[in-house]
Chain A
Amino acid sequence: MRGYFLLNIFYRFYFRIIGRIQLCILFLFLFLPQLFPQELLIRGKVIDKTTNQILKSVSVHDKTSFRGTVTDDSGSFKISLPAGQHNIEFSYTGFERVDTTINLFENIEISIYLNPFTVSVGEVTITADGLKDHVSSPLMGSFTLTNKEMMKLPSLLGETDPLKLLQLTPGVQAGSEGGIGFYVRGGGTDQNLILYDNTIIYNPGHLLGFFSVFNPEIIKDVSIIKSGIPAQYGGKISSVIKLNSYKGNRDSVEVMGSMGIISSRISIDGPLFKGKGTFILGARRTYLELFVEPIVRLGAKSTSFINKQNNYNFYDFNTGASLKITNVDFFSFSAYHGRDKYRMGQAGIKQENSLEWGNSMASLLWNHKISEKGELNTNISWTRYEFDLSGSQSDYSYGLFSSVMDYSLKSDLSIEKNRMKITTGLELTNHSFIPNRINAQAGNLILDFGQFSAMKALEGAIFFDDELPVTSRLSIAGGFRFSFFNHHGPYSKFVKNMLGQITDTLFYPRGKSLAFFANPEPRLVLKYQINDNTSLKASYMRIAQYIHLATSATASLPTDSWIPSTSKLKPLVGDQLSMGYFRNFPKKGLEFSTEIYYKKMNNQLEFLRGVINTSIVGNMEDNLAIGNGQSYGVELYLRKKIGNSTGWLSYTLSRTEQKFDEINAGFVYPAKYDRRHDISLTLIRTFNEKWSGSAVFIYISGNAFTMPVGRYIIQGNIVNQYGDVNSFRMPPYHRMDVSMTRKIITRKNWSSELIFSIYNIYNRANPYFIYFEAAGDLEKYSLEIKAVEVSLFPLIPSVSWSFKF
């Protein structure tokens, strides 16, 4: 009752205040339809015939007028067409195409059911399913992978990882061996907006970043947008990665699970309230401590980083539910909690270390149909990332804690008016950061690291997206986002004298602004449809990023902490121009595209020394360099979506450069993740009803790194003299993984699969890092220096068994 009351208040509030603001913006554009002839609207839902699950990202294409759209997160679509007869095609990867003829003389609502493909031996069906979207959608630089595709691809230690699979697509480059951190078109790992059910996940890594926090069983699909990002997304300048979770099915209770070498997972899902809703519960736990250590030991040529008394594990819990309350109100809920726990000790020197980190999130989405032509989506969410490190050795002890926590509200209104599709709304996020809270004690002396107060900030934006067909061939998708960021109190700011000593503390009370930034962010995509199978697209976007990742490493580590923009740390601003040619070959079931891009990143940060140095009060600015970066390149992409053999080939040729006054004497230098060539080939093949297989090959130019060019002697020690920053290249990275899947039992309500996977099949020792080892004794006049290459993962076979009933 109380919930309903609150809902009611919110509902009214929305339409009185926010609705008015949005309608004002809408008004400006609403006169435009008068220029076009009267159009009619087809609304509908696309549903999987076998499971009754809604299908998102289904291509809806009118062959008569070349117009098209895709279904949204709730499986719905809307398309405006002139009155008359239309031949509309619905297509989606892995499903049979549906062609319907519709005589349109009034607004109508339809439901479309798609049948999944059943592949039998000897029969190769080639149809143009799922290809249209690529050419006709107003998105550029985007890529979507469904759960089915993910599960078929090879994986490290049997752990399918949605984020790692994105690294196989053009323009996306892996950060480090096996790591989930990635660089999109020259942007840092912190420049990717990772949304799990519309909620940001700050550090999506388990096991020092070797696995992502996303349980593959729960993930329905994952997609990435690299250019022409719609205005409803912002806050990270390089990409948007959306992961949508599976919320369960409406028919019967079903259990899915998997047992692998390093972890097991299980999930249960089914209907709620007599089919009005669905639910899912899932869990994953590793038993890594038993297996990984010997493997890593084997792989690392040097064992100096690996300690004897290690204990490591991680776990995840996921839950989700969906509920249709009325015909116009649909709710979906999602929550996640995961932790990594690592303990390391060395009895000999009385050392104890423990490290614990993890994400937690919850989100609630309310989808409300306002009218035939409009709907309102409101999402409230909470997310938190925490990191806690503590250690002691004899009399010394220390602790390091960092966290970031957000409360967010995002609400958007979509309206289809004639041939235009407008989405407008607002987003508000209340951030609370504790970048690093350090304590340390040496005997009786408690070291004073100053006072660490949490940093509070409010980030917000209003946005407006509009898809507008100008002629039957040319369409514009334009958008505008106005974002702001307010770093506010309560906060204690230290005033220092010339010696760097704190002489005074300024206290900013609750709500008082310490720094305020606002940025207009225009977005634009132009699409010119040459014919049914060919289009040209061009886009421009500007995005401001108000939070920064303080990182001391190339790997994405849990110690990396997030810090807000302050009066000294300006927001990062990214501009990107890109152009592309998109072509489908329907007879061959192929889609091809090539894109060129130029991206500029202003106010990039580099932390010159480690996180601990950075976080000591008064030292942050000393250890921080602010500079600019740019990246440009060309991407080629060829994907085969139909038939017994599917897969894709992607190639990226790019260059990424940075310029910082404090680094490399102010000269331009290659970014550490500047990789000239990046090739990946992914093949999935169904051999027969029982067997299917897949293979992945990756080749990436070596990482740029700084090398010593000379050495000298200081007080009996050999010291390195470094060459230009990042002027050397590691040997190239390449490997091939294969996997075979065998379906074992297929009864009516029971199926299971054995998945055999081999990571790095030709056992390439890929360079993880290079270090230099001195051997001998300088004072005995004999010393030899060798470059030592450390590689991580050798050939790793794995097997896992998954089941469903």
Chain B
Amino acid sequence: MKERFYNLSLFALFLLATICCNDDLNLNIPEPDDTIVIDGWIETGQFAKVLLTRNSPYFSTIDSASIRALVLTWAKVTLTDSVGEKSEILTLRRNDNYFPPYIFEGNEIIGDTGRIYKITAEYGGKTAWAYTTIPPRVKLDTAYFKLETNSDSLGSINIEFTDPPEIKNYYRILTKLIGKDRRYNSLMVMSIDDIFFRGQKAELSLSRGPESFFLSEGNKYFKLGDSVSIKFCTIDKAHFDFWNSFQDEYLNARNPFASSLSQIKSNVQGDGLGIWGGYGASYYTLKIK
């Protein structure tokens, strides 16, 4: 009798446990608040550029119609120079080098070192704004191509520069293959803190950055015959924090051993997200022969 009871209860337990086994990922995700996304920058000697979109629910499908709906073409985007001295309203242009291919651009205010710039985006009763500065430029001492060992055509670009010891610096480096890439792409390391080479001569090895980090595969090399434009920039702390946390997110989002406790650190305030960043940019062209 007892024996039977045990056998029965074990069987019942087993059955219960088997029924529990259901692999459906039932994730009830609430829709996020409608938010303005600013993806904008201003650099030394150039007009401001702003891509303006909205956020979308996580599992919504993406196709041409839905992406078109994310672009805020009717928004009012205002650029203000150094605490209200000068201001202008940016105009929307189509530019297929960017994605989505609509970009707000300035016509009057040109980026200048040491100044503060405010961007304001207004759309459907919502307002988002952000401030940034353009830090002093740092020049590269040299840039040269270095072949990978065991390769006769592939390699990376080595750059050398001297970190100014008197101020705290953050850097961001982008490259563009002339005639191939439509825009400047960031290195895998999206921003660099001078804490590692304070006031020293720094030497970095650049590999080709992918167009999109979330779809990219592996490292990309430069090769003999490439013409590469290097955009070497200094950025401010908030701008650094954004790219640094963006990189964390890119590296950690799929990693079970890393926790993702924090959102990407945006410098946009109000009903907004994203980045408004100033670049102290200098450009170099290297023909790999």
Contact = CB atoms under 8 A, between A and B. Distances in A.
Contact of B168 (A445, A500, A619, A715): A500
Given A552-B258, A779-B99, A734 B63 contact: no
Contact of A709 (B39, B57, B63, B186): B57
Given A711-B55, A787-B25, A782 B17 contact: no
A745 interface: no
A785 B254 contact: no
B146 to A, nearest CB: 9
B37 interface: yes
A721 B264 CA distance: 8
B29 A714 contact: no
Interface string B162-178: 00000110000000000
Given A442-B203, A714-B275, A717-B214, A722 B260 contact: yes
A721 B55 contact: yes
Contacts of B248: 609-610
B17 A706 contact: no
A421 to B, nearest CB: 42
A479 B25 CA distance: 50
B56 interface: yes
A366 interface: no
Nearest to B36: A712
A445 B202 contact: yes
B198 A787 contact: no
Contacts of A778: 62, 67, 99, 212, 215
B197 A713 contact: no
Contacts of B107: none
Contact of B39 (A442, A445, A713): A713
Interface stretch (B6-14, B86-94, B122-130): B6-14
A330 interface: no
Given A442-B203, A723-B32, A663 B261 contact: yes
A695 B10 contact: yes
Contacts of B249: 719-720
A620 B10 CA distance: 52
B281 to A, nearest CB: 15
Given A553-B258, A711-B56, A774-B214, A716 B99 contact: yes
A553 B259 contact: yes
B258 A501 contact: no
Interface in B1-60: 2, 6, 10, 13-14, 17-18, 20-27, 29-32, 35, 37, 39, 51, 53-59
Contacts of A721: 32, 35, 55, 58, 263, 273
A783 B260 CA distance: 23
A138 to B, nearest CB: 35
B148 A710 contact: no
B25 A770 contact: yes
A37 interface: no
A394 interface: yes
B197 A443 contact: no
B58 A781 contact: no
Contacts of B204: 442, 445
Contacts of B55: 710-712, 721
B276 to A, nearest CB: 12
A490 B172 CA distance: 38
Contacts of B54: 712
Interface stretch (A17-25, A61-69, A725-733, A751-759): A725-733
Contact of B17 (A697, A783, A790): A697
A695 to B, nearest CB: 7
B142 interface: no
A123 interface: no
B259 A449 contact: no
Interface range for B: 35 or more
Contacts of B203: 442-445
A32 B62 CA distance: 79
Contact of A557 (B202, B257, B260): B257
Contact of A782 (B22, B63, B99, B256): B63
Contacts, number: 208
A710 B34 CA distance: 10
B18 to A, nearest CB: 5
A458 interface: no
A736 B17 contact: yes
A762 interface: yes
A482 B219 CA distance: 57
Contacts of A762: 14, 17-18, 21
Interface string B208-230: 00011111001100000000000
Nearest to B242: A714
B15 to A, nearest CB: 10
A227 B219 CA distance: 53
A350 B149 CA distance: 10
B56 A712 contact: yes
A768 interface: yes
A468 to B, nearest CB: 44
Interface in A381-397: 394-396
Contact of B196 (A449, A672, A718, A725): A449
Contacts of B198: 448, 501-502
B6 A685 contact: yes
B119 to A, nearest CB: 15
B27 A706 contact: no
A699 B214 contact: no
A376 interface: no
B215 A774 contact: yes
A447 B246 contact: no
B246 A681 contact: no
B285 interface: no
B200 interface: yes
A777 B254 contact: no
Nearest to A681: B13
Nearest to B158: A443
Interface string A676-719: 00000101010000000001010100000011111111111111
A719 B196 CA distance: 28
A731 B26 contact: yes
B202 to A, nearest CB: 6
A395 B256 CA distance: 28
A765 interface: yes
Contacts of A449: 196
Contact of B214 (A618, A645, A718, A735): A718
A764 interface: yes
Given A445-B203, A609-B248, A719-B249, A736 B13 contact: yes
B253 interface: yes
Contacts of B264: 719
B70 interface: yes
Contacts of A349: 218-219
A782 B66 CA distance: 10
Contacts of B22: 731
Nearest to B68: A781
Nearest to A683: B10
A781 B37 CA distance: 19
9 contacts: A443-B205, A448-B195, A709-B31, A710-B55, A710-B56, A728-B29, A734-B21, A770-B25, A779-B99
Interface of A: 124, 304-305, 349-350, 394-396, 440, 442-445, 447-449, 499-502, 552-555, 557, 606, 608-610, 616-619, 645, 663, 672, 681, 683, 685, 695, 697, 699, 706-723, 725, 728, 731-732, 734-736, 761-762, 764-765, 768-774, 776-779, 781-785, 787, 789-790
Interface of B: 2, 6, 10, 13-14, 17-18, 20-27, 29-32, 35, 37, 39, 51, 53-59, 61-64, 67, 70, 98-100, 148-149, 158, 167-168, 186, 195-198, 200, 202-205, 211-215, 218-219, 246, 248-250, 252-254, 256-264, 273-275
Given A713-B53, A773-B254, 14 more contacts: A305-B256, A394-B149, A444-B203, A448-B198, A552-B259, A616-B195, A710-B57, A711-B58, A712-B54, A712-B273, A717-B214, A762-B17, A779-B212, A789-B23
Closest 6 CB pairs of A and B: A710-B32, A499-B168, A769-B256, A781-B64, A783-B62, A447-B196
